[in-house]
Every structure is written in structure tokens, then in C-alpha cells.
């Protein structure tokens, strides 16, 4: 018997960490996930996380003639009029920079409400969109970093329902309640019912 070939889906990112994360969420699908080539550059010109996810998935799928999945995510703080939002990754030169800037701009404002959002889009080889969703995790910004896990804004994003920051959660706990975990949980039943032919 011939071994069955797994269908290839391109993850529309150049970040190996993001690929590993996707592989974890999509582990029970028989997909071969691969990184997009560096030469395919996608300008994130959307005005929402979902628009950017669609742009990335569609552009990469069309350029490679293969199925592509993309996500776009960020942190929106109420007292900062939704900032850093779409610019979450560009709010500073490093994670400590970004955290310092956010805490400095927020100061001692009593309104610490914030939300993490993650949009995911899956595009067919011709660039048309097959599926999309958006997950959110509401929380609050702490006065100072707490915890050693995670990355990005995790040490200052506190989730009242569990009484911890993202950086204080185990990987499994974070996967379950995070914006990305919520988005993938919403998408998985639909992904399982999709028929993607091996490349």
C-alpha cells in the first residue's frame, strides 16, 4: 500500500515560533504545516486584526498555489483608546520596551480594562477565503509585570477569572483561555470537516 501523503498548509508567517504554536493547536489534523518563504512579503494594511489575517492568508495562498492559514493578534487597552491594537508588535524594540511604554502611558489610571484579540483566516490555493474567526480574552493591565512565562505583554495582562497574569499560567492553562486558544477552539470543528487534497 502506498503511504498517504499529508496535505500541506502554509502558515503565513516567517516566525518559526508561530509555526510551532500552530502545530500545537492543529496537532489532531493530518496537515503538514510549513513556513512561508521569506521572499513573500505581505503588507499588513488592514484596519482590523481580521482584515490583516485575511490579507496574509490570501496573499500567501495565491503566491504559492497552496492552502494557507494566517493569524493576526494584539492587545487593546480601553484607557488608551484601543492602543497598541494593530501596532502591538511595533510598540517598542523588545518585549520589555513595549511593556514599559504601555505602563508609562497608562500611568496610575484606575481603568485598566484590556482585551487580547486573535483573528484567524484560512485561504484556498486560489486566494479565496474558506474560513475565518476571531477569539478574545478580556482582562486588565497590572501595575507591574508578574510571572516568568509566555512572551510579549503576558506579564502585565491579568485575567480576573483565573486570578493570574498570562505569564503566571502554565502553557496548558494559557492555551485553554487565551484569545488564540478561543479562536482555534471555534475554528477546529470546521477545519476537521474540510477536505484538503494533498499537494
Respond yes or no: is residue 72 known to be catalytic. yes
- Residue 60 clears pLDDT 50, i.e. is over it: yes
Return the pLDDT at 3.
Answer: 47
**pTM, two decimal places:** 0.91
* Residue of 140, 160, 151, 146 whose CA lies nearest to 180: 151
Over residues 99-147, the pLDDT tens digits come to: 999 999 999 999 999 999 999 999 999 999 999 999 999 999 999 999 9
Strand 67-77 relative to strand 8-11, pairing: parallel
Mean pLDDT of 15-35: 88
Extents of the domains making up the chain: 8-192
- Kindly name the residue from 28, 38, 71, 72 that is annotated as catalytic: 72
- The C-alpha angle with vertex 127 and arms to 126 and 130, in degrees rounded to 5, equals 100
- Residue 168 clears pLDDT 70, i.e. is over it: yes
Mean of the per-residue pLDDT values of the chain: 93
CATH match of 8-192 with 3.40.50.10420: no
Amino acid at each position: 500500500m502506498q503511504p498517504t501523503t499529508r496535505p500541506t498548509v502554509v502558515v503565513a508567517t516567517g516566525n518559526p515560533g508561530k509555526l510551532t504554536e500552530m502545530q500545537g493547536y492543529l496537532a489532531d489534523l493530518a496537515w503538514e504545516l510549513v513556513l512561508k518563504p521569506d521572499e513573500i512579503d505581505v503588507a499588513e494594511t488592514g484596519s482590523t486584526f481580521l482584515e490583516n489575517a485575511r490579507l496574509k492568508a490570501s496573499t500567501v495562498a495565491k503566491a504559492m498555489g497552496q492552502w494557507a492559514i494566517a493569524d493576526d493578534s494584539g492587545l487593546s487597552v480601553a484607557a488608551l483608546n484601543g492602543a497598541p491594537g494593530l501596532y502591538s508588535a511595533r510598540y517598542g524594540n523588545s518585549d520589555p520596551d513595549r511593556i514599559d511604554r504601555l505602563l508609562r502611558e497608562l500611568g496610575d489610571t484606575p481603568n485598566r480594562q484590556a482585551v487580547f484579540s486573535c483573528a484567524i483566516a484560512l485561504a484556498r490555493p486560489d486566494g479565496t477565503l474558506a474560513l475565518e474567526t476571531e477569539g478574545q480574552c478580556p482582562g486588565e493591565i497590572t501595575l507591574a509585570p508578574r510571572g516568568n512565562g509566555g512572551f510579549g505583554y503576558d506579564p502585565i495582562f491579568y485575567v480576573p477569572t483565573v486570578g493570574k497574569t498570562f505569564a503566571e499560567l502554565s502553557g496548558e492553562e494559557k492555551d485553554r483561555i487565551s484569545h488564540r486558544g478561543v479562536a482555534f477552539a471555534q475554528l477546529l470543528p470546521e477545519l476537521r470537516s474540510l477536505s484538503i487534497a494533498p499537494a
